[in-house]
Amino acid sequence: MSESTDLLVRGGTVVDSVGTSMRDVAVRNGVIVEPDALSEPHVVDATGCIVSTGLVDMHAHLGEPGDEAAETMRSAGHAAVLGGFTTVLAMPDTHPAVDSAAVVDHVRSIGSSALCHVEVAGAITLQRSGKHLAPLGELAAAGVRYVTDAGFGLQNPLLMRRALEYCRPLGLTVGQPADLRALSAHGHMHEGEWSSRLGLGGAPAEAEEIMVMRDVSLARLTGATLHFQTLSSAGSLAIVGAAARAGVEVSAEVAAHHLLLTDSDLVSYDTNRKVWPPLRSSADVAAAQTAVESGVIDAIVSDHTPHTTDRKERAFDEAEHGTVGLETALAVALTAGISVSSALRALSWRPAELLGLGDPTTRSLSAGATADIVVFDPDLAITSKASEMATLGTNSAYEGIELTGAVRATIVAGRLVVEEGKVVA
């Protein structure tokens, strides 16, 4: 399917940031056009499906460069478009870390081998060591809009303050995984009834909440743009909600798995469900679902973290953290009971806005907009199997779980890359 082929997405219900309507969507030369402008288009059947702007993942670990055994840009791109993502923000925890313009350029160039758009996040500190600031001005000049030490929250409050201060005039959003390591240090899962029963060291929700409190204060102090990554505890969400009401510029994301799975799902010591922050209690999961619906949570992310089997086929406390998630994020959100419009807001419209993608008016499927489009059946249930996924990572937290909501087609910049749930590009 070449880029110049005209496409007509027919028979679906268009849900975008403007509203909901039954209409066909036409694509020519990478942009959306009026349907009557086409002659003999390739028809994408969207009967019974939702048609919306392509999904945007603010948080994915793509493996390349440095961990090509677990994932490459190409395999991650396939996984992304199968999950309906047309844009993915690559985390900077690669080898080497993305802490210079040269690495930004390299990641961007290998990112072109992916079927989706790849945006590049920079590191806050050199080699993500949490010690010295990376050349943030150089990163900004290279087009980076978002910096994070990905996986390592900045522990030192003075360094965090400096990073926020320094990033503010550069227009950089600071992404922070909120985790007070000194308090969560011996934790392999959420501290509570289940860690107690399973005999695993627990990380209390308070380790996250204390960090959220601290960084809300620092955001207020510095006036910088702060984004909390993968919040997982009800207490954190309450603090962020209160901060937003008080006018502090903070945004927040939740990983899809924190909307569906709980600490009790670790009963069989499935290391593929060992994630960080850890799966929390059912009360925390309910709070996260509510926060997505209410808008306290801006974004749902995949926190896609591919691993080879050897890093997971270990004792639980020795296994690596993370689950793959690009292919399942939308389905997991819908299975968790998130409404279609809230899911799309958190998986497409709001993250695009936070990352400053395109112009704000293009988060709709109106004529003239870039043709990044997802078509999904919100009612189709599929039993998830890691072996059938496109990611090279073998670590899926959802093995054998029936997920409702399946991507049928994905169009990236006018190019049909997924059709009938399969990669066609």
Among 16, 64, 119, 191, binds another protein (CB under 8 A): 191
Could you say whether residue 68 binds another protein (CB under 8 A)? no
Which residue in the set 2, 39, 268, 387 belongs to the binding site for another protein (CB under 8 A)?
268
Active-site hit among 303, 317, 372, 377: 303
Minimal distance in Å, beta carbon 308 to another protein? 11
Whole-number Å distance between alpha carbons of 206 and 244: 20
Residue with tokens 């993370």: 322
Give the distance from CA 170 to its chain's centroid: 23
C-beta of 126 vs 198, nearer to another protein: 198
Would you call 303 a catalytic residue per the annotation?
yes
Single out the residue of 63, 77, 202, 351 in contact with another protein (rule: CB under 8 A): 202
Q: Does 195 bind another protein (CB under 8 A)?
A: yes
Residue 197, interface with another protein (CB under 8 A)? yes
CA 359 to chain centre: 20
Is 315 a residue that touches another protein (CB under 8 A)?
A: yes
179, 277 contact by CB (below 8 A): yes
CB of 206 to another protein, least distance (A): 12
Size of the site for another protein (CB under 8 A): 22
* Sign of the dihedral defined by the CA atoms of residues 102, 83, 85, 300, in that order: negative
Joined together, the tokens standing for residue 53 give 């702007």
196 binds another protein (CB under 8 A): yes
DSSP code for 262:
-
Region binding another protein by CB under 8 A among candidate stretches 133-141, 169-177, 315-323, 401-409: 315-323
Cα-to-chain-centroid distance, residue 12:
25
Instruction: Determine which helix (DSSP H) or strand (DSSP E) holds 403, and give its type and residue range.
Output: strand 402-412
Residue count (the chain): 425
199 binds another protein (CB under 8 A): yes
SS3 (DSSP) at 281: coil
* Nearest alpha carbon to residue 279 among 215, 191, 367, 219: 191
Interface segment toward another protein; rule CB under 8 A; list 51-59, 81-89, 198-206, 353-361? 198-206
CA-based max dimension of the chain: 65
Secondary structure element (H or E) that encloses residue 417, with its range: strand 415-419
317 makes contact with another protein (CB under 8 A): yes
Q: How many CB atoms lie within 10 A of CB 148?
A: 28
- Cβ burial of 173 (10 Å; 0-12, 13-18, 19+) is buried
Q: How far is the CB of 260 from another protein (least distance, A)?
A: 22
Binding mask 133-172 for another protein (x = CB under 8 A): ----------------------------------------
Which one of the spans 19-27, 70-78, 227-235, 316-324 is the region binding another protein (CB under 8 A)?
Answer: 316-324
Which range touches another protein (CB under 8 A), out of 115-123, 238-246, 248-256, 268-276?
Answer: 268-276
Question: Is the link from the previous residue into 378 a cis peptide, with omega within 30 of 0?
Answer: no
318 is an interface residue for another protein by CB under 8 A: yes
Write out the catalytic residue numbers.
Answer: 303
**Interface positions with another protein (CB under 8 A):** 191-193, 195-200, 202, 268-269, 271, 309-311, 313-318
